């Protein structure tokens, strides 16, 4: 019985810390502005307009694959860090301290990952998306509203790869 009470107390402390961590993350994300999103893509829109459909498709495919590779590398590195992390041991206070230190490290790493995505890929993805939709003479499909990465927000299981797949599907429609 005493063990169950101690276990519930431990669980309550972890939930409290998790809730605090989520509030800190929400505050962090609310503080981010579109100022960190680059304003000019690697390929100027004038150059993009002169590309053949096949050339545009090739560039979009290369971008999509690079985006997926970037996301996979982050997840692989995170898995390796998790697997190599020592177990949380000690008193309740020591365990909370270790958990908080791990949560802080993860927040910093994820923030760096999100900013790196914005710097490396977001401007190009947005520019290619606009050009593909212009050439297809269509409006964005409903599917696009479910891609938070288009706004620079990385939520979900694979938001960057999902965006890459979406762009590549538009490119395939343009140049089968």
CA distances from 32 to 118, 151, 154 (A): 12, 11, 13
Q: In the numeric block, which tokens belong to residue 152?
A: 């620079």
pLDDT (tens, 9 = 90+) of the chain, 176 residues, equals 444 444 444 444 444 444 444 444 444 444 444 444 444 566 766 788 889 999 999 999 999 999 999 999 999 998 888 888 778 788 889 889 988 988 898 899 999 999 999 999 999 999 999 999 999 998 887 777 889 999 888 988 999 999 999 999 999 998 88
Residue 17's pLDDT is what?
Answer: 45
Neighbouring residues of 158: CB distance < 8 A, sequence distance ≥ 6: 68, 71
Question: Per-residue pLDDT tens for 43-82?
Answer: 766 788 889 999 999 999 999 999 999 999 999 998 888 8
Radius of gyration of the chain, Cα coordinates, nearest whole angstrom: 21
CA distances from 106 to 42, 75, 82 (A): 30, 12, 10
Chain centre distance of CA 151:
10
Query: Using a CB cutoff of 8 Å and minimum separation of 24, what contacts does 46-51 make?
Result: 48/127, 48/128, 48/131, 49/131
Cite the DSSP H helix spans in 51-176.
53-84, 92-117, 123-136, 159-174
Q: Residue 115: name the closest of 43, 28, 173 by CA.
A: 28
Residue 41's pLDDT is what?
Answer: 65
Q: Residue 19: name the closest of 78, 90, 115, 100 by CA.
A: 100
**pTM of the predicted protein model:** 0.70
**Length of the chain, please?**
176
What does the alpha-carbon distance between residue 172 and residue 157 come to, in Å, rounded to a whole number? 24
């Amino acid at each position: 019985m005493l063990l169950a009470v101690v276990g519930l107390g431990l669980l309550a402390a972890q939930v409290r810390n998790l809730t605090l961590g989520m509030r800190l993350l929400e505050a962090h994300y609310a503080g981010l502005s579109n100022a960190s999103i680059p304003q000019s893509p690697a390929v100027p829109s004038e150059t993009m307009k002169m590309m053949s459909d096949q050339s545009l498709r090739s560039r979009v495919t290369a971008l999509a694959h690079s985006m997926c590779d970037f996301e996979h590398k982050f997840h692989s590195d995170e898995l390796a860090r998790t697997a190599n992390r020592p177990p949380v041991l000690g008193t309740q206070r020591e365990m909370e301290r270790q958990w908080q230190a791990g949560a802080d490290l993860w927040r910093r790493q994820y923030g760096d990952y999100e900013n790196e995505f914005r710097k490396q890929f977001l401007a190009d993805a947005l520019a290619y998306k606009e050009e593909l939709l212009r050439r297809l003479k269509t409006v964005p499909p409903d599917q696009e509203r479910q891609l938070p990465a288009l706004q620079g927000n990385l939520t979900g299981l694979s938001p960057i790869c999902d965006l890459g797949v979406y762009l590549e599907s538009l490119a395939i429609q343009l140049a089968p």
